[in-house]
Structure formats: C-alpha cells, structure tokens
C-alpha cells in the first residue's frame, strides 16, 4: 500500500454557501469523486466492478475533521491512501489540500459487497493486488 493518489478539484459556485465558503457536505462529494477516480486509475470502474466482479463498495463509516475553509475558485487536491485492508473491508485516509495545507481530513471505512446481495464478500484478488502493489494503469 503505497503513496497517496491525488485528484484535483476546482471549487465551483454550486459547492459553496451564499458567502462563497465551501459547504461542509461538499467535501464528502469531493472525496467520493477522488475515490471513484482512484479506483478508475487502478483499472476498476464501477461498471467493471459490477459486471466483471459482481461487487461494489459501500461506506460503513466515515469520520471527518475540518481545519480551514475552502472558498469559491480554489484548486484543491483530494488524496486517497489505503491504510488497512482486510478480507472484505478497506480503510482509507483522505485529505483535502490547498497548496499543501490540509483543509480537511477523513478516515473512511468501506466494505466490499456483492452487487446482487449487498452482503460482504472478499475484495477481488486483481483489485487487492493492485492496491497492495500501488499499481496504477
């Protein structure tokens, strides 16, 4: 489990409140996009996971801390880093950075489930290997 994946996000008006400050819920959307792109970078789109591996990830829990606000037109880097992986669960550390300063930090616990049953299943071996090796397409 190697270095963090970075995904750039520009803050748009729709992400902010009337004062131009990023709404707290928007940070979760930024992190979701980064996780999606991280999986895509590993070669696992949501479509691939469902069709080829009959699985998806569900968020079991998420803990987030906010340190400084992002504002309209900021360019942010959203990180994804695997900190732990079990048979069917994965723990990710995510940060929202602006010019290397941390604006928010989250710990995300996700569970691999069957796309038809929504019950925990093993993380597919090809995905597990790519995560462990930090291999990106």
CB 22 within 8 A of CB 11: yes
CA distances from 99 to 66, 70, 103 (A): 16, 11, 10
Residues with catalytic function: 17
Q: Which pLDDT value is given to residue 13? A: 95
In this prediction, residue 116 carries a pLDDT of 95
pLDDT at 82: 96
Q: What is the dihedral of CA 32, 109, 134, 96, to 10 degrees?
A: 50
The pLDDT of residue 136: 53
Of the two residues 133 and 82, the one the predictor is more confident about is 82
Asked whether the predicted pLDDT for residue 131 surpasses 70, the reply is: yes
Q: What is the pLDDT of residue 113?
A: 97
Bridge partners (DSSP) of residue 62 are 108
What domains sit in the chain, N to C, each tagged with a CATH number?
5-133 (3.10.129.10)
Q: How confident is the model over 7-41, as pLDDT tens digits?
A: 999 999 999 999 999 999 999 999 999 999 999 99
**Contact between residue 89 and residue 73 where contact means Cβ atoms under 8 Å apart:** no
Compute the distance between CA of residue 81 and CA of residue 88 in angstroms, rounded to an integer: 17
As given in the structure block, the two tokens for residue 16 are: 């902010």
Residue 38 DSSP one-character state = H
Cβ burial of 6 (10 Å; 0-12, 13-18, 19+) is middle
The model's pLDDT over 99-127, given as tens digits with 9 standing for 90+, comes to 979 999 999 999 999 999 999 999 999 99
Return the SS3 of 23: coil
Average pLDDT over residues 54-75: 97
């Amino acid at each position: 489990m190697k270095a963090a994946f970075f995904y750039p996000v520009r803050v748009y008006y729709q992400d902010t409140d009337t004062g131009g400050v990023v709404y707290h819920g928007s940070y979760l959307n930024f992190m979701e996009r980064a996780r999606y792109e991280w999986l895509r970078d590993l070669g696992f789109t949501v479509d691939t996971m469902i069709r080829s591996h009959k699985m998806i990830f569900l968020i079991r829990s998420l803990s987030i801390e906010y340190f400084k606000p992002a504002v309209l037109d900021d360019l942010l880097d959203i990180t994804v880093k695997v900190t732990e992986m079990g048979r069917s669960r994965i723990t990710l550390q995510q940060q929202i950075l602006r010019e290397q300063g941390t604006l928010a930090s989250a710990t995300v616990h996700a569970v691999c489930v069957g796309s038809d049953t929504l019950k925990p299943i093993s993380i597919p071996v090809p995905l597990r290997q790519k995560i462990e090796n930090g291999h990106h397409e």
